[in-house]
């Protein structure tokens, strides 16, 4: 039982509920625990129909495939490790996950040039202890659409959200700190110089 759990995770909701994803034995790879993912998708709601989603440090793909399972319109998985990219591609093929796009990329470099204001949901779960959280948050925030969510998972207490984002939910499960921030809606600028 523990052998199985150590090398795979399960999708917990949506069309692929109970499907399993392999977890390769790679340094720093630590998929989001089931309990944490369940909490996250309770915060977000069970139906992500129409959402554009980015999983910037995909690893096993647990977060991205979970979003696709729950109806996201498009999910982009970024992963630098070639072996993990092959594993993600195999999972995509096995599930028939046509809405999922997998790209071998350095997440920080991709985030720096990614489409601004595009995503309704971005997952940031960099390898623990790698010191990537602050830079990843700074680069991901501009890519969120108005009202969009940024999910951060860390082995340290989360910082305050960057300017333009507000804390929506936060939690902790053992050593895992996790939080969901939301981009504020901005009211349209009033027309200037116009008479009533």
Q: Among 127, 121, 123, which residue's Cα sits nearest to residue 154? A: 127
Nearest-angstrom CA–CA distance, 134 and 83 = 26
Q: Among 67, 115, 131, which residue's Cα sits nearest to residue 95? A: 67
pTM: 0.88
Give the architecture (CATH level 2) of 2-183.
Answer: 3-Layer(aba) Sandwich (3.40)
* pLDDT tens digits in sequence order for the chain, 196 residues long: 333 445 888 999 999 999 999 887 665 566 677 888 999 999 998 889 999 999 999 999 999 999 999 999 999 999 999 999 999 999 999 999 999 999 999 999 999 999 999 999 999 999 877 889 999 999 999 999 999 999 999 988 999 999 999 999 999 988 889 999 999 877 665 544 444 4
For the chain, how far is it from start to end, CA to CA, in angstroms?
A: 71
CB 54 within 8 A of CB 109: no
């Amino acid at each position: 039982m523990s052998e199985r759990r150590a090398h795979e995770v399960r999708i917990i909701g949506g069309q692929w509920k109970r499907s399993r994803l392999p977890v390769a034995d790679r340094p720093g790879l630590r998929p989001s625990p089931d309990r944490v993912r369940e909490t996250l998708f309770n915060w977000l709601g069970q139906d992500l129909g129409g959402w554009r989603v980015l999983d910037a440090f995909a690893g096993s793909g647990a977060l991205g495939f979970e979003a696709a399972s729950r109806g996201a319109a498009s999910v982009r998985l970024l992963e630098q490790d070639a072996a993990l990219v092959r594993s993600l591609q195999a999972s995509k093929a096995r599930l028939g996950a046509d809405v999922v796009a997998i790209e071998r990329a350095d997440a920080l470099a991709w985030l720096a040039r990614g489409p601004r204001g595009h995503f309704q949901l971005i997952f940031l779960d960099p390898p623990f202890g790698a010191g990537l959280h602050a830079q990843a948050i700074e680069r991901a925030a501009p890519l969120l659409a108005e009202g969009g969510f940024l999910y951060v998972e860390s082995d340290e207490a989360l910082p305050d959200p960057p300017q333009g984002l507000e804390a929506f939910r936060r939690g902790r499960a053992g050593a895992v700190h996790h939080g969901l921030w939301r981009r504020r809606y901005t009211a349209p600028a009033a027309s200037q110089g116009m008479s009533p």
